[in-house]
Homo-oligomer: A and B are copies of this chain.
């Protein structure tokens, strides 16, 4: 009877792939600890390298530099250089970044709810 199961696909295989693949596509672009935080800081009006670095606490300059390049490659950010002295560099979010709004909102809401859940659990432990 096991033989019947052996080489079988898992349940709902095709349906499941349809659900999986797009999410994996999204994660491929938004991978890592910093991409979304940097995008959020940019969307809130921070355009200068050091402003972003101050806002996204804990990010190293090297890492920020790297993330900004990747975001530029993926069309989320444009790097604009003004020839003032010293040169001024601004990072501007593109319209395409606005398409992430739903994703960011969902993560934001979930993060808030999750934090509340954790707090409630800690209270329980204290009370119990």
Q: What is A's interface to B at a CB cutoff of 8 Å?
A: 9-13, 15-17, 19-27, 29, 31, 33, 36-37, 40-41, 44-46, 48, 51-52, 54-56, 96, 99-100, 102-115, 117
A12 to B45, CA, bound (A): 8
Of A36, A45, A103, chain B has the most CB atoms within 10 Å of the CB of A103
Q: A105 with B107: in contact, given A23-B37, A114-B26 (CB under 8 Å)? A: no
Question: What residues on B are CB-neighbors of A100 within 8 Å?
Answer: 110
Q: A11 with B44: in contact, given A23-B36, A23-B37, A23-B108 (CB under 8 Å)? A: yes
> Do B9 and A24 have beta carbons less than 8 Å apart?
no
> Do A112 and B22 have beta carbons less than 8 Å apart?
yes
> Do B19 and A107 have beta carbons less than 8 Å apart?
no
Question: What residues on B are CB-neighbors of A111 within 8 Å?
Answer: 21-26
Q: A105 with B108: in contact, given A23-B40, A46-B16, A52-B10 (CB under 8 Å)? A: no
A44 to B13, CA, bound (A): 9
